[in-house]
Structure 1
Amino acid sequence: MKFQPRSTSQRIAHIFTTHKNRGSRDPYQELEGAYVSQICLAWEVLNWNYTNFWQKIAKGSDSESSSCTAWIAQQFQQFQVLLQRFIENEPYERGRRPQVFAWKRISSPKLLLVPEFRGCYTPDTEEDEGKEEMISSTEFLAILEDAIRTFMNFLKADTANPCQTLKAFFKTKPSSVDPNLLRLLKRTNKKNKTRLKDLSKRRRCLTKKKRKGEEDMEILMGLIDMKIVSRVLRMPEISQEQLRWCEEKMSKVKVWDGKIQRDSSPLFFFPVR
């Protein structure tokens, strides 16, 4: 699938800022579609940044290409701070997650926008000369891991309240997808998350050097994949194309015999039209 992150982000942002004048379409449904699109996009970009940087380190690249400018590192820290601030403030806001997110995006346009890692930096102006300071690969890797953990906390906080669950249960509007396939994918997703959590517990028991609560990054990223899929499956209006995306996304994470195999290649899909 052809990926154009800039144009996709612009389309999502346009919906966030113009949803009040969208004609006869349900504004909440469109907001939710834009929100889910944004979290899918953010995760694929964050995943790519981490995987790309880790591969540079694993290949023993030269120190210049496997280090990072302090300025870029600060952008990832800002990404994390904005997410953490949203998590802390959301309980005091009125409305459901997509609505609150849309309001916050107006005042904080960088919310959930993942920076791009660049190993080398050349200042364009004299004002930018302080930006070329470099930090070590170990420091930057820790920043990326903290950002991933915060993103997982952001996803965990996105839960459906009992009223929403009940409303979805009694929904009478005909669906365009096979309900049996939808139920199967939800069951499969739940089983995958259980396997990943069990594997994480076993590894923590075997590796005593890990601090309590410190996840194996590979498992954590697999759990985020499944969490993203479960959020897409939770949408009240979902298409057959979106179900196929969920199915393919889940197939990229396999757990067997105490091991995990995760395909980290991006799978871009955005239910925004």
Structure 2
Amino acid sequence: VLHSKDPFQSISTHKSSSAPPITSLLPQNLWPRRRKTSDSDPMSKFINELHGDLEMVYVGQLCLSWEILHWQYEKAIGIWESDPYCMRRYNEVAGEFQQFQVLIQRFIENEPFEGPRVRNYIKNRCVLRNLLQVPVIREDSLKDKRKGRRKGRDEDDNAITADMLVEIMEEAIRIFWRFLRADKDANIVIRKMRKGAQVEPTEPDELQLLATLQTSLQKKDKKLREIVRSGNCILRKLKKNEEENSDQVLYFFSQVDLKLVARVLNMSNVTRDQLLWCHSKLSKINFVNRKINVEPSFLLFPC
């Protein structure tokens, strides 16, 4: 399904003798959050399952992109610190990160006219293969360096060095944050009942874990907001040897992690492994005397 330009359009071409055309069902039934559907209707059940699968693809990519982006950012900081004279060049990967930013920015700008987030993401992802695909940091190849030398000093003056790469990555992280905040299902709220077509976990221990995670998420989000005061910590330009900067980065990254946990908990169907992933994420963020402590981790989202 994902290999077609628009998987939803391909579904809508099929018809059932016992049901109206799928094109008439899609606006109401493809997105179960809008309206409950009957599980006794095979087509409605299929559409609900499809939505759940595609939502998991989207959320999985969202979580993976953040883990890779965070990891690459730490790598860029390490490169910057180990290259004080900025001798290395990163023109090629800098261009890729700028494309990463442009694709996300366009998505955000067009989203008000494109419908629900998951459907919009899947449609765009089928056409724009690099959407949310984080580039891998690497130094320019010898061929690229020779090409730059042949073009002379002007080209060398415009070269992307390690410190400039860090700034480009910080902008990429800020745009990713705007993308995540624009997802209405990433809001941190506690509901007595899961809304719409969200499926409750069937096992009692999973229900208890879900409730515990929701409570923990809200408490940690509140604590973080109290520390940040403004409730919106912004990743600012880094400067070397600034102790305060380290805390600000942790505050910002923790906000992203909490938003991602909220997005997972708000999925239409969340599995035990995904609940445990949320538990691991939250357990890494702790507060002691109004100071934040975050354990380093790289947690792949279980799909």
Q: TM-score, normalised by structure 1?
A: 0.76
For the pair 1:148 / 2:186, whether they are aligned, the reply is no
1:57 alignment counterpart: 80
| CA distance in structure 2 between the partners assigned to 1:174 and 1:246 by the alignment | 16
Structure 2 counterpart of 1:176, one-letter code: T
| CA distance in structure 1 between the partners assigned to 2:277 and 2:166 by the alignment | 29
The residue correspondences of 1:124-163 to structure 2 (distance < 5 A) are 134-160=159-185
2:103 alignment counterpart: 82
- Report which stretch shifted further, 214-223 or 177-186: 214-223
The share of aligned pairs that are identical, in percent, is 30
Change (3 A) 1:173 1:264: closer
| CA distance in structure 1 between the partners assigned to 2:232 and 2:266 by the alignment | 31
Structure 2 counterpart of 1:110, one-letter code: N
Change (3 A) 1:27 1:187: same
Change (3 A) 1:168 1:34: same
- Give the deviation of 1:40 after TM superposition: 0.9
Structure 1: 4+ residue segments shifted above 6 A: 124-133, 202-205
| CA distance in structure 1 between the partners assigned to 2:228 and 2:89 by the alignment | 30
- Give the deviation of 1:173 after TM superposition: 5.3
1:114 alignment counterpart: 134
| CA distance in structure 2 between the partners assigned to 1:64 and 1:78 by the alignment | 23
Q: 2:207 aligns with which of 154, 165, 179?
A: 179
1:176/1:240 contact within 8 Å kept: no
- Give the deviation of 1:251 after TM superposition: 1.4
SS at 2:293 equivalent? strand
- Give the deviation of 1:82 after TM superposition: 0.9
For the pair 1:31 / 2:57, whether they are aligned, the reply is no
2:219 alignment counterpart: 191
Structure 2, gaps ≥5 residues long: 12-42, 239-244
Change (3 A) 1:204 1:31: closer
| CA distance in structure 2 between the partners assigned to 1:180 and 1:107 by the alignment | 41
Change (3 A) 1:30 1:142: same
Structure 1, gaps ≥5 residues long: 1-11
- Give the deviation of 1:122 after TM superposition: 2.9
Superimposed CA distance per residue, residues 71-99 of structure 1 (whole angstroms, 9 cap, x where no aligned partner): 211111111111111111101112x2110
2:195 alignment counterpart: 169
1:82/1:111 contact within 8 Å kept: yes
Structure 2 counterpart of 1:84, one-letter code: Q
SS at 2:134 equivalent? coil
| CA distance in structure 2 between the partners assigned to 1:107 and 1:256 by the alignment | 46
- Report which stretch shifted further, 194-203 or 138-147: 194-203
| CA distance in structure 2 between the partners assigned to 1:246 and 1:101 by the alignment | 23
What is the aligned residue count? 247
| CA distance in structure 1 between the partners assigned to 2:167 and 2:231 by the alignment | 20
Q: TM-score, normalised by structure 2?
A: 0.69
